[in-house]
Structures are given as C-alpha cells and as structure tokens.
Amino acid sequence: MTNYQKGARFERDVVNEFWSHGWAALRAAGSGSVGQPVPDVIGVREGKIIAVECKTTRREKAYLEEAVLKLKRFMEISNAEAYLAVKFPKKKPMFFNIKKLLREKKYNVTANDKHLSLESILGEQRTL
C-alpha cells in the first residue's frame, strides 16, 4: 500500500468515525493539491465545525509545521475548531489541538505526547 493510499484510508476512517458519533463529515479529496489551506476532513454538527488535517507516519515522531500553519489559516477564516490527527504505527489515532500547538510553538509530535481522543474533541468523553 502506498503512502497516499494509507493516508486516504486514514482520512476515510476519520470521516466514518465522525458519522458514527452523529456528526456530518466529508473528506476533501486532493486537499493537499488545491493550493489553499483546505483540511482533509470537515465535521459539522449543530453549527459546530471541526477541521482535521490527517497524517500517517511509520516513525515515532511527526514533523508538522507546514500542516499546523495551513490549518491555522483555515481555522481563522472559518472559525472552525482545528486538530491534527496523527496515526503512529500500532497506535490509535491521536488528536492534537492546533491552538495549543501554536501557543507552545510545538510543530513536532511523538507517539508518547499527551493527546486527545476523537470522543473528547467531539465532546463525548465520559467520566467514570
């Protein structure tokens, strides 16, 4: 499977997860090639918008400065909440809040970094 195929599959998986949690979602196919800061996935529910840039890596660290800065621009224009979703080997997808990454000037993330789950960004995190 090519890197493109892995990335596209991850994006489709994220879209399906949004739908399974009661959100409308779509994948912006070719989002990296349109020359504008278009995120890979957009989810909408009851007026709330979430933009997600998806990345897959074979390594334990992902370098994301370009993705963070592009998603920042989309977030500013659309007023969407924005997250990076990173799929590390043998791990569940990890979500990173763009505002937090920008505030900390942190453009690299690792498989061991503190992160969010999809349920938490959708406001569905349950406490025990």
* Structural domains counted in the chain: 1
Judge whether 128 lies within some domain. no
Q: Which residue has the higher pLDDT, 33 or 64?
A: 64
- Which structural domain, as residue segments, surrounds residue 100? 3-121
- 128 has a pLDDT exceeding 50: no
Judge whether 93 lies within some domain. yes
Per DSSP, helices labelled H in 21-122 are: 65-78, 98-104, 118-121
Length of the chain: 128
CA distance 86 to 52: 10
Q: Which residue has the higher pLDDT, 85 or 8?
A: 85
Instruction: Tell me if residue 88 falls in helix, strand or coil.
Output: coil
CATH at residue 36: 3.40.1350.10
> What is the reported pTM?
0.88
For residue 30, the model assigns a pLDDT of: 62
- Write out pLDDT tens, residues 42-88: 999 999 999 999 999 888 888 888 888 889 999 999 999 999 999 99
Q: Which residue has the higher pLDDT, 33 or 83?
A: 83
CA distance 123 to 106: 24
Judge whether 98 lies within some domain. yes
Q: Which residues are catalytic?
A: 31
- 127 has a pLDDT exceeding 50: no
> What is the distance in angstroms between the CA of the first residue and the CA of the last residue of the chain?
40
Judge whether 40 lies within some domain. yes
Judge whether 127 lies within some domain. no
Judge whether 22 lies within some domain. yes
Judge whether 80 lies within some domain. yes
For residue 13, which of 96, 85, 115, 90 has the smallest C-alpha distance? Answer: 85
Judge whether 41 lies within some domain. yes
pLDDT band at 31 (very low <50, low <70, confident <90, very high): low
Q: What percent of the chain has pLDDT over 70?
A: 91
